[in-house]
Structure 1
Amino acid sequence: MAYTIDRYPPEEPSRLGAMTLHPVAESVPRARRWFRKFITPYHPACALDDCELMISELVTNAILYGRSEGDWVVRVEWFREKNSLRVDVHNPGFPAAIRMRHPSANEAHGRGLLLIDAIADSWRSGPSPFGGTVVSFVVDDAWSA
C-alpha cells in the first residue's frame, strides 16, 4: 500500500487528520485529494485550492529532499488551532537543510517555499517529533469565530 489515512480519534484534540505517504511522485496528488476529502466536513472558510497547492509543494520537497537509510515515509497532519488551520509535513531529512531560495528566472525549481511564504499567513521548519524535519504552514481565519 502506498499510503495510510488516519482521521479517527486523534491523540491531540486539535488534530483533524493525518496521512502517511511513501516517497513516490504519486503521493503528491494523493495528498491533495485526501486532504480535501477529509477537511471538507469541517467546513473551513479558507481557500482549499491554496492549501492543496502548499501541500503539493511541501510533499514534493519532502520526497525530493527527505533522506533516510532504508524505507521511509512522508507524514502530513492538519490541525485546527482556534480559527487557524496548520498543516505539518514531516520527512526524515535534517532540519538545517530547509531554506528559502531565490532562484533566477531561468531556474526551473526552487520556488516552493517562496510560494508558501506568499500564500500562508506564516510557516516554519524545525525538528519533527517523529525524527527528521517538519515544515508547517498556517492559514489564519480558516474558520469563522
Structure 2
Amino acid sequence: MPEIPLVPVHWRFPAHPTSVRRARHAVAESLPQVLRPHLGDDLGLLTSELVTNALRHGACREDEELIELILWPADGHYWLAVSDPGTGKPELARPDTNSESGRGLILVDSLATAWTVRPRPTRGTSVIAGLPFRQGG
C-alpha cells in the first residue's frame, strides 16, 4: 500500500506588511519539531522574502487582496508556494551596490534547491521554492 502524503498546510493573509511576520511564524510553527533546527531559519527567510515580494509587486492593499501560502513535504523537500493576485513574473535581478532593494530573489535562489514562477489557473502568480530535509530529522 502506498504511503499517504501529508495534507498541505494553507494560509491566507491580508496584503499588509504585518503579514510578513505572521506568515513566517505560521510556517515555522507548522514544521515538525524535529525539523525546526534544520529548516527553521532558512524556511523563515524564504517565507519573509517571498511574502514581501508578493506584497510589493503582486497585491494591492486598497483592494484587500490576499497573499496565499501553501507548505508541503514531498520528495525530500519542504515546498513553499506563495501566491498573489498579480500578473507579473518575478525575475532574478542584479542590483548594483547602491540599490536599496532587489535582492530578495537572489536570497531565494541561494537558499532553495529549486524555485520557479507559475501562473495560477484562475488569477495571479505563484512562486514555489523547495528546501531539502532529511527524513527523520
Match of 1:92 in 2: 85
TM-score (norm: length of structure 2): 0.85
Equivalent of residue 66 in structure 2, options 66, 73, 83:
73
1:90–1:130 contact (8 Å) kept in structure 2: no
Equivalent of residue 39 in structure 1, options 31, 36, 41:
31
Tell me the CA shift for residue 14 of structure 1: 4.2
Q: What number of residue pairs does the alignment pair up?
A: 131
Identity of aligned pairs, percent?
27
Off by >4 Å, runs of 4+ in structure 1 = none
CA distance in 2, matches of 1:34, 1:130: 26
CA distance in 2, matches of 1:15, 1:99: 30
After superposition, the CA RMSD in angstroms is 2.1
Which deviations, in whole Å up to 9, do the C-alpha atoms of 1:39-80 show, x marking residues without a partner?
135x33732101100110000000111146833100011011
Equivalent of residue 134 in structure 2, options 118, 124, 143:
143
Cα 1:139–1:24, aligned 2, differ >3 Å: closer, same or farther? same
In structure 2, runs of 5+ residues without a counterpart are none
CA distance in 2, matches of 1:44, 1:16: 16
Q: Structure 2 matches for 1:9-20, cutoff 5 A?
A: 13-20=5-12
CA distance in 1, matches of 2:25, 2:135: 24
Match of 1:120 in 2: 112
Are 1:26 and 2:18 an aligned pair?
Answer: yes
In structure 1, runs of 5+ residues without a counterpart are 1-11
Cα 1:138–1:79, aligned 2, differ >3 Å: closer, same or farther? same
CA distance in 2, matches of 1:22, 1:56: 14
Q: Structure 2 matches for 1:97-116, cutoff 5 A?
A: 97-116=89-108
Tell me the CA shift for residue 92 of structure 1: 0.6
Tell me the CA shift for residue 13 of structure 1: 4.3
AA partner of residue 119 (structure 2): P
TM-score (norm: length of structure 1): 0.81
2:15–2:59 contact (8 Å) kept in structure 1: no
